[in-house]
Amino acid sequence: MTTTTNDFRPGLEGVVAAETRLSHADGQRGELVIAGFPLEELAGRATFEEAVYLLWHDHLPTKDEVTGFAADLCALRPLPEATVHLLQEVAAKSVPPMDALLMGAATLNLDSPATAEQQALTILARLPTIVATYWRLCHGQEPIAADPELSHAANYLYMLTGETPHAAQTRALDTYLNTVIDHGLNASTFTARVIIATESDLVSAVVGALGALKGPLHGGAPGPALDMVFEIGSADRAEAYLRAKLDRGERLMGFGHRVYKVRDPRADVLSVAAEKLFQEAGDSSLYDLAKAVEQKSIDLLAVYKPGRNLQTNVEFFTALVLHGLGLDTDLFTPTFAISRAAGWIAHCFEQKATGRLIRPSSRYIGEMDREWQPVEIRD
Ligand code: ACO
């Protein structure tokens, strides 16, 4: 097919730049399919290990397969000394955890695993350890060694807090991790595919993807979304607060999506997970407030941005689930990354199999035929 520079689409909206069997976000129907499974079928049932195995192998694991896979991940959790030293240095400067994760992840190339599969396992196993280690160092606490008896999700909470989570907490985190594990050709996944397509390595692809994820228009929204709910404080203050924000031309974090124009199915799955988590903890007041803020936001967005159909996106309920698990807002985006890394890696394997460099075109809109002037005579 011949393309011309007249085909320019700002933001590449609607441009198909890859084929994938990993996930499909149907924006018109408000549906997300993960390797053949409707999100609602998979997210609340699978462990994160099962969901990762599904993406990496294109089938649900047998009992033996998932046991072996979990054991492989478990064995790779401890960090090399150099990574811990780097995190100690970085903690002294109190950089945001997402930046520390990015720097820590870059050290994962210190080991030279025999195969790309081993490198993939190493990255996935160690990202939670980097986040938890850094978090504790930042708060003057000793890092906690991984517990081999705990699953990926449970161990992450354990390494952060030192407390073994109860079953409802582990289930909520597994549901969250499964919900955000992959999502078509989003910005960070595209970044990972571009990097791996140059025949670079998996660590470089993941580090690049982390950089894309940290921006507020991608993975950085849940913190501000929760801050907004806290600032509103009570349902009767929501309308005035939200109107003032919209009057100032500000965006409401946690609403709107480039692909989903009807509903973001991930928001529904996480809303249910959040409701269960807060009920289990015996206090649903924050959940009730968030639902009231959500409804008022949707109503006002319809008034301020008619025809745009701006709905709740995944970040809004991400904030509630992760807050309900006791995570600080600074940990929200790194926790998103811990899951999405599995998707990035699966996309990298897919992209490598195509053997095709990603190299789009640009349309030149600059000056032509300029003439060189020596510096002495320039105005
Ligand atoms: N609040 C207020 N107005 C909004 C919002 C919002 N959350 N989202 C979009 N709009 C407005 C835009 O200002 C624009 O208005 P205009 O036509 O008057 O200029 C119109 O709706 C369309 O906006 P676009 O920027 O074209 O929408 P796009 O598809 O590019 O943006 C995005 C999607 C970036 C997610 C946007 O909705 C947004 O900024 N949301 C808030 C941030 C957020 O929640 N990000 C997390 C997204 S989920 C994820 O990445 C995992």
Q: Write the pLDDT tens digit of every residue in 10-24.
A: 989 889 999 999 999
Provide the residue type at 281 as one letter: A
In this predicted structure, the answer to whether residue 112 has a pLDDT above a threshold of 80 is: no
Exactly one of 257, 275, 294, 323 is catalytic; name it: 257
pLDDT for 259: 85
The pLDDT confidence band at residue 180, using thresholds 50, 70 and 90, is very high
pTM of the model: 0.92
pLDDT for 366: 97
Least confident interval from 116-120, 194-198, 218-222: 218-222
CA of 32 to the centre of ligand 1 (A): 20
Neighbouring C-beta atoms of residue 106, cutoff 10 Å = 16
Does 131 contact ligand 1 (Cβ within 6 A)?
A: no
The pLDDT confidence band at residue 218, using thresholds 50, 70 and 90, is confident
- Per-residue pLDDT of 22-35, as tens digits, reads 999 999 999 999 99
In 3-state terms, what secondary structure has residue 255? strand
pLDDT for 114: 78
Provide the residue type at 264 as one letter: D
CA–CA gap between residue 284 and residue 273 (Å, rounded): 12
Average pLDDT over residues 118-122: 96
The pLDDT confidence band at residue 108, using thresholds 50, 70 and 90, is very high
- Per-residue pLDDT of 238-281, as tens digits, reads 999 999 999 999 999 899 988 898 889 999 999 999 999 999 99
Average pLDDT over residues 360-373: 95
Dihedral of CA 223/225/231/233: which sign?
negative
In this predicted structure, the answer to whether residue 2 has a pLDDT above a threshold of 60 is: no
Does 315 contact ligand 1 (Cβ within 6 A)?
A: yes
Please indicate whether residue 315 is annotated as part of the active site. yes
Protein residue with least CA distance to atom 3, ligand 1:
251
Does 252 contact ligand 1 (Cβ within 6 A)?
A: yes
CA–CA gap between residue 128 and residue 70 (Å, rounded): 14
Percent of the chain topping pLDDT 90: 88
pLDDT for 373: 95
Average pLDDT over residues 53-79: 98
Specify the residue for token string 């690049």: 208
The pLDDT confidence band at residue 379, using thresholds 50, 70 and 90, is confident
Please indicate whether residue 218 is annotated as part of the active site. no
Average pLDDT over residues 133-145: 98
Give the residue among 161, 178, 172 at the shortest CA–CA distance from 48. Answer: 178
The beta strand positions in the chain, using DSSP E, are: 23-26, 31-34, 37-38
Average pLDDT over residues 47-66: 98
The pLDDT confidence band at residue 221, using thresholds 50, 70 and 90, is low
The pLDDT confidence band at residue 4, using thresholds 50, 70 and 90, is low
- Which of 313, 322, 335, 340 to probe ligand 1 with, by most ligand atoms within 8 A of CB? 313
pLDDT for 368: 97
The pLDDT confidence band at residue 6, using thresholds 50, 70 and 90, is low
In 3-state terms, what secondary structure has residue 23? strand
Does 46 contact ligand 1 (Cβ within 6 A)?
A: no
pLDDT for 223: 80
* Mean pLDDT rounded to a whole number for the chain: 94
CA–CA gap between residue 190 and residue 195 (Å, rounded): 9
Exactly one of 49, 275, 294, 315 is catalytic; name it: 315
CA–CA gap between residue 94 and residue 87 (Å, rounded): 10
In this predicted structure, the answer to whether residue 48 has a pLDDT above a threshold of 60 is: yes
Least confident interval from 77-86, 109-118, 182-191, 326-335: 109-118
